[in-house]
Amino acid sequence: MTNTIADLETSDLILVTGSNTTENHPVLSTFMKRAALKGKKIYVVDPRRIKLVDLAEKWLRPNPGTDIAWINGLMHVIIKEDLHDKAFVEARTENFDALKEMVASYTPEHVAEITGIAAEDIIALARAFAKAPAAAICYCMGITQHTCGTDNVKSLANLSMLCGHLGKPGGGVNPLRGQNNVQGACDMGGLPNVFTAYQSVTSDEIRQSYEKAWNVSGLPAKPGIPVTEMIEKAYAGEFKSMYVIGENPMVSDPDLNHAEKALANLEFLVVQDIFQTETTAMADVVLPSLCWAEKDGTFSNTERRVQRVRKAVNAPEGTRPDWDIICDIARRMGYEMQYENSHEIFKEICAVTPSYRGITWERIDKKGIHWPCPDESHPGTPILHTTQFTRGKGLFHAIEHQPPAEQVSDDYPFILTTGRVLYHYHTRTMTMRTEGLNQMSPECFVEISKTDAKKLGLDTGALVNVSSRRGKISAKLQVSHKAVEGTIFIPFHFAQAAANKLTNAKLDPTAKIPELKVCAINIEPAA
């Protein structure tokens, strides 16, 4: 996030897209609700009529996979009507002319044909967003989990820069991370091409600094393999072993039938987790680790705030901290990796991570600090890009609309999109063990519009078979006002009817994220 969570209340307009915020980020959504109560405007752009629509000034419903088109449509109107922030564009950006030329063809009428959003709604939102003194964009995996996910995000950045809504309170481009330390995992180099703080492994200078810190030589200059490509390589027999920590790919990966064959093809599979899962069932070795409440350390949350986490309960016998397990394996492989505790590890993190360098456990004893925080006299950075961007000037990207990898057909006439429900998290590894949550949301469902259900001659509670080009599941139909004609929603939490047996594993070429949010399906009554 370029801005903070609390900062949303200072926004004059909040544009929420690809995020079912009240169900996926219920605490964060309270800030949006309070903003609405203060008279601030919320606009929702989403294929489903999510609950946040009840508080919105307007709901714009795009056809799934058409985000670049409607964003370009907004920019077309803003430039045509001379509503863009000329001073910001001139002083702080480059490549504006290329953007202007590209969006010229995205008239509201043309965008309406692609997206299904009415031309007058495109115009109204464009004017409101551009004229707002401070407007924030919040997005989640409904934007990123596409074959054009990277370009979707760049398009939102284009829109924010165009109107000068970056680097100031109440503005910003704000991705909402799915769990409390997803941001921290990325900050720590949990990506195949970077060290901590997104320092590239291809840089000789950066590699040498880490070699010095760790007293090693020959750190590889070649980026590693993204997890989505690991699965393909395992299937092809090129990948021999895998070490999975705190993840359950046998529910969360796309095209699950294919993923299962890939994992089964491994010579050696290790899974480190706090509970047994569908993936531990396939493992050669299972390593039991501690949960968040059983250990000390830090979390870096969605707003880049680094916070202390403290042990609250004793761990079950036989479990160990993740870092202790990893260090033990490293020692057995010939590298002496040993720490006294997590505080010692955090000191090393700050020593090799420029954006964390000024953060100490003492400074965050009671309240977290937003990175970047380059030294101990620095207060932290709640708002990014206040005077300049990381690269200097912000770069506009001229990005054309590109359709989803899979289209509807006579055999597969519906579009499927997936996501979460309020009562469960991800693959239910944790939440399935809570009786109250299972009472509120006990099983998978197929959310469908009243119109589509009527065409099929079915109603709520009917057991249906849902099939795609990759697999089939059975679940009960749920007629809902959230659903829109032609689009079906299925939560992916439930292993017994795993929506990811249906989803498409086609990848974004840059981020290597799969197109989980759009695929073609068919629905039939179960025999």
Does 84 score more than 90 pLDDT?
yes
Residue 46: both structure tokens together: 């989403």
pLDDT tens figures, 18-34:
999 999 999 999 999 99
**Is residue 35 within 8 Å of 169, Cβ to Cβ?**
no
CA distance 342 to 294: 12
Amino acid identity of residue 327, one-letter, is C
Q: Would you state the pLDDT for residue 426?
A: 85
pLDDT tens figures, 189-240:
999 999 999 999 999 999 999 999 999 999 999 999 999 999 999 999 999 9
Residue 137 forms beta bridges with which residues? 15, 173
Task: Provide the pLDDT confidence category of residue 180 given band limits of 50, 70 and 90.
Answer: confident
Q: Would you state the pLDDT for residue 200?
A: 96
Q: Would you state the pLDDT for residue 319?
A: 97
Question: What are the strands, taking DSSP E only, across 146-209?
Answer: 173-175
**Assigned CATH for 182-370:** 3.40.50.740
Q: Is 189 left (phi over 0), alpha (psi -120 to 50) or beta?
A: left
CA distance 450 to 484: 8
Question: Residue 42: helix, strand or coil by DSSP?
Answer: strand
Amino acid identity of residue 55, one-letter, is L
Does 124 score more than 80 pLDDT?
yes
CA distance 383 to 134: 13
Amino acid identity of residue 180, one-letter, is N
Does 17 score more than 80 pLDDT?
yes
CA distance 241 to 314: 32
Q: Would you state the pLDDT for residue 201?
A: 97
Cα-Cα-Cα-Cα torsion 432, 434, 437, 438, nearest 10 degrees, comes to: 50
Percent of the chain's residues with pLDDT above 70: 100
pLDDT tens figures, 226-260:
999 999 999 999 999 999 999 999 999 999 999 99
CA distance 22 to 30: 8
Q: Would you state the pLDDT for residue 81?
A: 98
CATH code 2.40.40.20 for 414-525: yes
Task: Name, in order, each residue with C-beta under 8 angstroms of 19's C-beta and a sequence gap of 6 or more.
Answer: 25, 46, 138, 139, 140, 141, 142, 143, 176
Residue 82: other Cβ atoms inside 10 A: 8
CA distance 346 to 318: 25
Does 109 score more than 90 pLDDT?
yes
CA proximity to 117, closest of 55, 63, 72, 57: 63
CA distance 350 to 238: 36
- Its pTM stands at 0.95
Residue 319: both structure tokens together: 């479990």
pLDDT tens figures, 313-356:
999 999 999 999 999 999 999 999 999 999 999 999 999 999 99
DSSP state of 392: B
Does 58 score more than 80 pLDDT?
yes
Go through the chain and tell me how many residues it has: 527
CA distance 405 to 145: 12
Strands 519-525 and 414-419: antiparallel
Q: What angle do CA 213, 215, 218 make, to 5 degrees?
A: 105
Residue 309: other Cβ atoms inside 10 A: 15
Cα-Cα-Cα-Cα torsion 294, 1, 420, 410, nearest 10 degrees, comes to: -150
pLDDT tens figures, 270-310:
999 999 999 999 999 999 999 999 999 999 999 999 999 99
Q: Would you state the pLDDT for residue 527?
A: 76
Rg (CA), the chain: 24
**Domain boundaries for CATH 2.40.40.20 within the chain:** 414-525
Does 412 score more than 90 pLDDT?
yes
Report the number of secondary-structure helices (H) and strands (E) in the chain: 18, 19
Fold for the domain defined by 6-176: Dimethylsulfoxide Reductase; domain 2 (3.40.228)
pLDDT tens figures, 444-500:
999 999 999 999 999 999 999 999 999 999 999 999 999 999 999 999 999 899 999
CA distance 276 to 8: 39
**Domain boundaries for CATH 3.40.228.10 within the chain:** 6-176
Q: Would you state the pLDDT for residue 509?
A: 94
CA distance 300 to 261: 35
DSSP state of 505: -
Backbone dihedral angles phi then psi of residue 142, each to the nearest 5 degrees:
-65, -20
Q: Would you state the pLDDT for residue 377?
A: 97
CA distance 438 to 496: 14
**Is residue 267 within 8 Å of 241, Cβ to Cβ?**
yes
CA proximity to 446, closest of 484, 425, 475: 475
Q: Is 360 left (phi over 0), alpha (psi -120 to 50) or beta?
A: beta
CA distance 482 to 246: 32
**Average pLDDT, whole number, for the chain?**
96
Task: Name, in order, each residue with C-beta under 8 angstroms of 4's C-beta and a sequence gap of 6 or more.
Answer: 303, 305, 370, 382, 383
CA distance 130 to 337: 53
**Distance from first CA to last CA of the chain, Å, rounded?**
48
**Which residue in the block uniquely carries the two structure tokens 């761990």?**
315
